[in-house]
């Protein structure tokens, strides 16, 4: 069993939780992903990345909706991303079928990787 602190950086997701619980991941709140162009967002995500690395935790970005966000988050050190860019919420049967044929996901990631290579960004 693994535990992730959801919406890290907002509300009640306090640093004290890192001491109290056997946490394995931090999930960056979608509000930071939505405002990646904001002047304070990159430093906040970089700080959260530093915390995740310091505690050897996986870093998950929530609410990734486009390739530009995915590229920026990858350059800031996010390990895992979730959001509409990859898949929309679906009933269990539809999600199961999607998992059996994940070519769409790989096409999306390949496109993002090609863009990174073109712009000089690295994972």
pTM of the predicted model, to two decimals?
0.73
Q: Read off the pLDDT of each residue in 87-102 and give the average, rounded to a whole number.
A: 84
Give me 113's structure tokens: 């990787």
Which residues have a Cβ under 8 Å from the Cβ of 106 and sit 6 or more positions away? none
Least confident of 15-29, 66-80, 91-105: 91-105
The span from the CA of 119 to the CA of 103, in Å, is 24
pLDDT tens-digit series, residues 25-68 = 999 989 999 988 888 888 989 999 999 999 999 999 999 999 99
CATH annotation of 3-119: 3.20.20.450
Give me 69's structure tokens: 């966000």
**121 CB-side CA count, 13 A:** 18
Four-residue CA torsion sign, 57, 31, 95, 85: negative
Predicted pLDDT at 13: 57
pLDDT tens-digit series, residues 75-94 = 988 989 999 888 888 899 98
């Amino acid at each position: 069993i693994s535990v992730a602190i959801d919406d890290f950086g907002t509300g009640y997701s306090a640093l004290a939780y890192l001491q109290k619980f056997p946490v394995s991941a931090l999930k960056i709140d979608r509000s930071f992903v939505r405002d990646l162009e904001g002047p304070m967002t990159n430093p906040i995500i970089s700080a959260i990345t530093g915390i995740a690395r310091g505690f050897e935790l996986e870093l998950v970005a929530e609410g990734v909706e486009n390739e530009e966000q995915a590229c920026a988050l990858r350059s800031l050190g996010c390990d895992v991303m979730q959001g509409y860019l990859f898949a929309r919420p679906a009933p269990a049967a539809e999600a199961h079928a999607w998992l059996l044929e994940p070519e769409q996901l790989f096409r999306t990631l390949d496109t993002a990787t090609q863009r990174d290579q073109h712009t000089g960004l690295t994972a």
